[in-house]
Amino acid sequence: MSFQPEIHLFTDGACSGNPGPGGWAFVMRHLASGKEMESSGFEDPTTNNQMELQAVIEGLAVLKRRCKVEIFTDSVYVGKGITEWMVKWKQNNWQRREGKSLKPVKNVERWQRLDELISRHEFKYTRVAGHSGHPENDRCDELAVQAYQERR
Of residues 38, 116, 122, 131, which has the active-site annotation? 131
Residue 13 annotated in active site: yes
**Active site includes 138?**
no
Catalytic residue among 8, 12, 23, 43: 12
Residue 126 to residue 120: CA distance in whole angstroms: 18
**What are the residues facing 140 on neighbouring strands?**
none
The residue annotated as part of the active site, out of 8, 23, 43, 52, is: 52
**Residue 123 near residue 71 (C-beta atoms within 8 A):** yes
Name the catalytic one among 13, 22, 23, 79.
13
CB-based contacts of 95, cutoff 8 Å, min separation 6: 89, 102, 103, 104, 105
Selected catalytic residue, list 23, 74, 81, 136: 74
Q: Catalytic residue at 141?
A: yes
The DSSP-derived string for 85-111 is IHHHHHHTTSEEEETTEEEEPTTHHHH
Catalytic residue status for 116: no
Whether residue 30 lies in the annotated active site:
no
Residues listed for the chain: 152
* DSSP secondary structure letter of residue 128: -
In the set 43, 58, 136, 141, the catalytic residue is 141
Question: Which positions are annotated as active-site residues?
Answer: 12-13, 52, 74, 131, 141
